[in-house]
Amino acid sequence: MYFPSYRMRRLRQTEQIRNLVHETDLLPDRLVYPMFVTHGENKRAEIQSMPGCYQQSISHLVEEAKEVRDLGIPAVLLFGIPAEKDDIGSGAYDEEGIIQMAVSALKEAVPELLVITDVCLCEYTSHGHCGIVRDGDVDNDLTLEMLAKMALSHAESGADIVAPSDMMDGRVAAIRSALDAEGLINTPIMSYAAKFASAFYGPFREAAESSPEFGDRRSYQMDYRNSDEAVREVLLDIEEGADMVMVKPALPYLDVIFRVKQETKFPLAAYNVSGEYAMIKAAAAAGWLDEKHAVLEAMTAMRRAGADVIITYHAKDVASWLGR
């Protein structure tokens, strides 16, 4: 069966034929929209390096969350910007903390929207690291206790899913046992299981005011040269009780997304991070890329690689382009 009796272009002739045989679906119900909520009243400030994304106080957050729901996007992922920070990030588990208050406001105003909370200390620590620092490095085991308290306070405020992004060893097991000990046996954990020490987080750190004051995150986030290690990290988190796993960033790691899905068959999220978003937005603003087509192609690539869920700042645009 070969040319000229077989012609591959027969199935590319028209939009109808191409749609009939297309292999990868992209739908709004696969998307999670990350949002930044800040302390205070009536605040809404666009993030310079992330056009269209905002640091906003709770009342504005709720309004935008209604738009997200109306677009058919099932979930938001919340990052908090507290009024104060300290060296152990104690604001992270404050029952009246910014995330705790935002979660209850969202669950009341938009109950059908899933609220996922990021569990990490970097937005709450004065030094900006993802844990408690002792002798110049993040102390893994001391940090576990804080993360468990933080995840518990989120779940008790009504969070539907908790998502530890800290990359401490053993944090999934620590959070699972803390939730179960308080009877929160049905709160799923979406673990940022294979999270790389990436240059593509720059804009986020501006948005969340969470840049490390000294050093970097390479003693806890993964080395981007390693793919076998990513599979080992994911398998460990599954062993510890993760309900969903994640690869982050996404586009520079499609090979890892593919491997993790193929080798684990576990529910898998890809996090299309701030730097990936900023690249496309900047190129589109300069007239170098067709934004809609570049974004839909990038989202489809993550799905084709095996991601079940895509966490992306493009979510609202994608959902409106898909017209559902």
Least distance CB 15 / ligand PB1 (angstroms): 34
2-15 core/surface letters (b: 16 or more CB in 10 A; e: else): eeeeeeeeeeeeee
Please work out the total of residues on this chain that contact ligand PB1, with binding judged by CB under 6 A.
Answer: 12
Query: Under rule CB under 6 A, which residues in 159-178 are in contact with ligand PB1?
Result: 165
Q: Which is nearer to ligand PB1, 69 or 171 (CB)?
A: 171
Q: What is the DSSP string of 6-70?
A: S-GGGGGSSHHHHHHH------GGGEEEEEEEESSSS-EEEETTEEEEEEE-HHHHHHHHHHHHH
Does residue 107 carry a catalytic annotation? no
Least distance CB 7 / ligand PB1 (angstroms): 44
Least distance CB 96 / ligand PB1 (angstroms): 22
**For ligand PB1, what does the binding mask look like between residues 45 and 84, x meaning CB under 6 A?**
----------------------------------------
Q: Does 204 bind ligand PB1 (CB under 6 A)?
A: yes
Query: Under rule CB under 6 A, which residues in 217-236 are in contact with ligand PB1?
Result: 217
Does residue 248 carry a catalytic annotation? yes
Segment interacting with ligand PB1 (CB under 6 A) among 14-22, 89-97, 115-123, 293-301: 115-123
What is the four-CA torsion angle of 315, 301, 307, 278, rounded to 10 degrees?
Answer: -40
Burial class of 43 by CB neighbour count within 10 A (0 to 12, 13 to 18, 19+): middle
Q: Please pick, among 85, 149, 248, 261, the residue that the annotation labels catalytic.
A: 248
Q: Which is nearer to ligand PB1, 90 or 210 (CB)?
A: 210
Q: Which is nearer to ligand PB1, 103 or 120 (CB)?
A: 120
Least distance CB 291 / ligand PB1 (angstroms): 18
- Candidates 115, 50, 109, 73; CA nearest to 316 is 73
**79 DSSP β-pair partners:** 36
Pairing of strands 50-56, 44-47: antiparallel
Active-site residue list: 195, 248
**Sites of contact with ligand PB1 (CB under 6 A):** 118, 120, 122, 130, 165, 201, 204-205, 210, 217, 273-274
